[in-house]
Homo-oligomer: A and B are copies of this chain.
Amino acid sequence: MANAKLNDAELADKAIETFRAYGYEGTSLNRLAEATGLEKASLYYRYPGGKDEIVLAAVKRVGQWFGENVLQPLAVTGSPEQRVRIVAKRLREFYGDGSKPCVLDTLSLRGGAPELQAALRVALKDWLSAFAAIAEKSGFAHDQAALRAEKAVIDIEGALVLSRVLEDNKVFLRALARLRKLLTEA
């Protein structure tokens, strides 16, 4: 790690950008080498398990980042409305105004290792839990809060798909504009 060109976090960040755009099968080690600026052999030195190990590290890292920067603001001070507004802003950045796919979507196609699918499932459940918590704090009953959270994540994921296919970010931005109402208003 002394002569490292990139630290692990930087490497994971570069890698995840490739994975979220091309998916697991579409991300070759050549593409990863190009994206990170490291040669394939260097990637194998740091991740002997190859692509499987890299994608797991990248997903773990992005999950952590998402938790700290997007979901954590839901648990701090401020009204539920204010918190959701901040989260919507973070989501807009995270998804590049709707131009960057969600890893939960593009990495969940068939072909990925079971450990990858398990990691994605955990990340999604964390997301749903955080949204359900803020909905419950806004006054929804437990079950209704869970349903609102589900609808909110569906709205974001679906809008990302439509924005990608239509090449029109406005679809995603409209979905983000619905988020506060969906999670905090009856």
Q: Which A residues fall within an 8 A CB radius of B?
A: 21-26, 101-102, 104-106, 108-111, 117, 120-121, 124-125, 147, 150-151, 153-159, 161-162, 164-167, 171, 174-175
Contacts and interface: CB of A to CB of B under 8 A. Distances in A.
A interface, by DSSP: helix, strand, loop or mixed?
A: helix
Given A165-B121, A165-B124, A171 B154 contact: yes
A158 B153 contact: yes
How many copies of this chain sit in the oligomeric assembly?
Answer: 2
B162 A157 contact: yes
Contact of A111 (B26, B120, B125): B26
18 contacts: A21-B109, A22-B111, A23-B111, A26-B109, A101-B109, A102-B161, A104-B165, A121-B165, A124-B165, A150-B174, A153-B158, A154-B159, A154-B161, A154-B175, A157-B158, A157-B161, A157-B162, A161-B161
A25 B150 CA distance: 30
Contacts of A159: 154, 158
Nearest to A110: B21
B166 A158 contact: no
Contacts of A154: 154-155, 158-159, 161-162, 171, 175
Given A24-B26, A154-B171, 17 more contacts: A21-B110, A23-B25, A25-B26, A26-B111, A108-B165, A117-B165, A120-B165, A124-B165, A150-B171, A150-B174, A151-B155, A153-B162, A154-B158, A154-B162, A157-B161, A158-B158, A158-B159
B110 A162 contact: no
A174 B108 CA distance: 21
A34 to B, nearest CB: 13
Contacts of A108: 161, 164-165
